[in-house]
Amino acid sequence: MGSQGSDARQIDGVGGATSTTSKVAVVSPSARMGVDVDYTFVQVAVGQETVDFSGNCGNMCAGVGPFALQEGLVRARPGEKTLDVRIFNTNTSRLIVDTVQVDEDGSFSEDGDYAISGVKGTGSEIKVAFVDPAGSMAGALFPTGRRRDTIHVKEQDGNRFSVKATLIDAANPFVLVDERTLPPYLKTASKDTAGYLRHMESIRCAGAVMMGLAPDIDAAAKVRGTPKLAIVSSPRLDHHSRRKGPDIHVQAFSMGKPHPSLQLTGAACLASAVCIEGTVAHGVAAESKGQSSWRTHSPERAASPCSDSDESSSGLLPSPRNVRLSHSSGSIAVDVLATSSESSAFVDRCIVSRTARRLFEGKVYYYS
């Protein structure tokens, strides 16, 4: 598994030669109260003989629930059509709940008509809920204590520039940059050139230091997996469509390269930011809609939602907000249950739907 001899094509190994396909999920029964399985995510580097245990991968989470059911780590009761699999992610010490479809014989039902952008074909819908996702690595929803920051970047060649960003940790830590504040030469640059990617990495590393995830720029450069970087902008709206258009557009990055779509944890994190007034994401989304409909102030009293978290069942949470995010491969919808005021913000959970199916089972050899 990985890049033997630092081969970027991974010829002598498996992984697909892209960061989005070179991943491992380690799953085991859990001894934790109220948890079914423990799951550890491993990002296997492409072109380097390294692995990264920082952060989580939401798309891998979507496969953990079905895998646990298929392997007998959890069992459905007779007659159940859906099963909630409670997953503890050891990387972030956070709970994820996979809601999977169940066949008449109690096995995972792979077939269905649910489709997701960037994946051809359909499958059964898997709902992935990130429960109480704030502070997964940095210890707080906004590690700097602010909802909007200015990142001052100094590159090795002496070039300096600044961007407006929100440094947020929900499901995974992200540096969300307002595209409008990028220098003009970066707005027009091709996103797959070495120069552009070097600038993006400089922004990410500076954000990592500000979030307290690295003591300095050199240390931040050694951990490519977190925090992740995403550039947010106004979506291209189709005024002729009756369907709800996207609220915001995003170009995410993964291990120093443009992401072909959007990480699931990135969807949860960005959607949370859209729902919290004062973030760059909220500002972009509100401006694109021409009004501030994304405010999520707590009502004086509302019916408490169904929640597995005793701490969040306060009766003060509003109904979930459906946030639509567009990316280079299509769009993704996120249901966000959150409250926000000028002085505080709380994210109870983010729910995103995926599909998954078993492709292969066997042995992959490890050579030390």
CATH code of residue 319? 3.10.310.10
- Asked if the model's pLDDT at residue 239 lies above 60, the reply is no
pLDDT at 46: 78
* Cα–Cα nearest to 366, from 91, 58, 51: 51
- Asked if the model's pLDDT at residue 216 lies above 70, the reply is yes
pLDDT at 363: 87
- pLDDT category at 292 given cuts 50, 70, 90 is very low
Are residues 295 and 168 part of one domain? yes
Measured CA to CA, the distance from residue 130 to residue 264 in angstroms comes to: 10
144 CA to centre of own chain: 20
Mean pLDDT to the nearest integer, 36-53: 86
Per residue in 96-130, pLDDT (tens digit) is 999 999 999 999 999 999 999 888 899 999 999 99
51 domain residue, yes or no: yes
- Asked if the model's pLDDT at residue 21 lies above 90, the reply is no
Tokens representing residue 25 in the block: 């999920």
- Asked if the model's pLDDT at residue 1 lies above 80, the reply is no
Are residues 245 and 188 part of one domain? yes
Tokens representing residue 360 in the block: 């292969």
360 domain residue, yes or no: no
In order of 22, 96, 173, 226, 352, the CA distances from 93 in angstroms are 22, 10, 13, 15, 19
Select from 78, 105, 131 the last residue of a domain.
131
136 domain residue, yes or no: no
Are residues 341 and 223 part of one domain? yes
Are residues 298 and 198 part of one domain? yes
pLDDT at 174: 97
Percent of the chain whose pLDDT exceeds 70: 89
- Asked if the model's pLDDT at residue 294 lies above 60, the reply is no
65 C-beta neighbours (distance < 10 Å), count = 31
- Count the domains in the chain: 2
- pLDDT category at 290 given cuts 50, 70, 90 is low
Are residues 153 and 122 part of one domain? no
CB 315 within 8 A of CB 299: no
Measured CA to CA, the distance from residue 127 to residue 105 in angstroms comes to: 21
* Cα–Cα nearest to 325, from 253, 272, 256: 272
Mean pLDDT to the nearest integer, 333-355: 94
Percent of the chain whose pLDDT exceeds 90: 64
- Asked if the model's pLDDT at residue 317 lies above 80, the reply is no
Average pLDDT, the chain: 87
Select from 97, 131, 165 the last residue of a domain.
131
Are residues 191 and 110 part of one domain? no
Measured CA to CA, the distance from residue 45 to residue 179 in angstroms comes to: 28
272 domain residue, yes or no: yes
Are residues 207 and 102 part of one domain? no
pLDDT at 124: 97
Are residues 326 and 258 part of one domain? yes
Are residues 9 and 93 part of one domain? yes
137 domain residue, yes or no: no
Highest mean pLDDT among 11-15, 201-205, 291-295: 201-205
Cis, peptide link before residue 227, omega less than 30° from 0: yes
- Asked if the model's pLDDT at residue 350 lies above 80, the reply is yes
Which amino acid does the sequence have at 61? C
359 domain residue, yes or no: no
CB 87 within 8 A of CB 26: no
Supply the pTM of this predicted model. Answer: 0.85
Are residues 230 and 320 part of one domain? yes
* Cα–Cα nearest to 284, from 184, 145, 180: 180
pLDDT at 299: 39
Per residue in 70-98, pLDDT (tens digit) is 999 999 999 999 999 999 999 999 999 99
Are residues 171 and 70 part of one domain? no
Select from 75, 101, 131 the last residue of a domain.
131
Are residues 217 and 107 part of one domain? no
Mean pLDDT to the nearest integer, 40-66: 86
pLDDT at 179: 96
- Asked if the model's pLDDT at residue 226 lies above 50, the reply is yes
Mean pLDDT to the nearest integer, 193-211: 95
- pLDDT category at 237 given cuts 50, 70, 90 is low
Domain, as residue range, for 259: 149-354
50 domain residue, yes or no: yes
Please name every residue paired with 153 in a beta bridge, in sequence order, or none if there are none: 161
Please name every residue paired with 327 in a beta bridge, in sequence order, or none if there are none: 330
138 domain residue, yes or no: no
